[in-house]
Amino acid sequence: QKEVEQDPGPLSVPEGAIVSLNCTYSNSAFQYFMWYRQYSRKGPELLMYTYSSGNKEDGRFTAQVDKSSKYISLFIRDSQPSDSATYLCAMWGSQGNLIFGKGTKLSVKP
Amino acid sequence: NAGVMQNPRHLVRRRGQEARLRCSPMKGHSHVYWYRQLPEEGLKFMVYLQKENIIDESGMPKERFSAEFPKEGPSILRIQQVVRGDSAAYFCASSSGQGETQYFGPGTRLLVL
């Protein structure tokens, strides 16, 4: 079983839709959870960062962590074509390195 | 305020040649991480360095790959005797400390012919 599982998609939605992106993980020791956004042929950029269980909101983005289910989510409200990118979930390993999911490719159609 | 810089952005090598990838961290950052992204795969951790020290190299292939982060100058990821399977995007990230946010560079895309 991989440490972090993420459906690669692709996911295609109309502009204005609510997008739900998810990851599951196997290591119950993970405490820090991140979502990165990666545009085509660019480096990943940090979107959201959460610690332990709970919700965190930043503008149109909401990150949720459910440690009991080992499940994390990223919601995007009022999605825009500029949100079209690959979204990567990531967790901190024991030495400070990041463990990434494969990424979900999102396309928001105007 | 320059972000993480990587060069070259694109690198083409023939099988058996050496590839040198450079990473200059953000100003004030002394922790550098290298990741590799293969086609259709997520980012995989390779090595974590602090100035003049390798902290964790658990993700590095045992042969042909090495990394350094000297006291002066950029961090360098070196791949000797490249093979086609080394073709990938190599990303560098930096942080101000262990457990701090990692900021990524634009990557170096290596193509081995």
The number of CA neighbours under 13 Å toward the Cβ of A57 is: 3
CB distance from A45 to chain B under 8 Å? yes
Summary mean pLDDT of chain A: 92
Cα dihedral B4/A56/A81/A8 (nearest 10): 80
* Residue of A5, A24, A51, A95 best to disrupt the B interface, most CBs of B under 10 A: A95
A2-56 residue pLDDT tens: 789 998 889 999 999 999 999 999 998 888 999 999 999 899 999 998 988 889 9
Tell me what pLDDT residue A9 has.
84
Of A45, A96, A99, the CB nearest to B104: A45
Q: Where does the pLDDT of residue A1 fall: very low under 50, low under 70, confident under 90, or very high at 90 and above? A: low
Side chain identity, residue A80:
Q
> Taking CA atoms, what residue in A is nearest to B4?
A43
Q: Where does the pLDDT of residue B1 fall: very low under 50, low under 70, confident under 90, or very high at 90 and above? A: low
Chain A residues whose CB is inside 8 A of the B26 CB are none
- Contact yes or no for A96 and B48 at CB 8 A: yes
Shortest CA gap A4–chain B (Å): 10
Tell me what pLDDT residue B60 has.
94
Is residue B14 packed enough to be buried (19+ CB in 10 Å), middle (13-18) or exposed (0-12)?
exposed
Give the residue among A81, A100, A98, A103 at the shortest CA–CA distance from A12: A81
Distance of CA B31 to the CA centre of its chain: 12
Give the H or E element holding residue B37: strand B31-37
B39-95 residue pLDDT tens: 777 899 999 999 889 999 999 999 999 999 999 999 999 999 999 999 999 999 999
Tell me what pLDDT residue A105 has.
94
Place of tokens 């500029």: A82
> Taking CA atoms, what residue in A is nearest to B34?
A97
Cα dihedral across residues A62, A1, A40, A50: positive or negative: positive
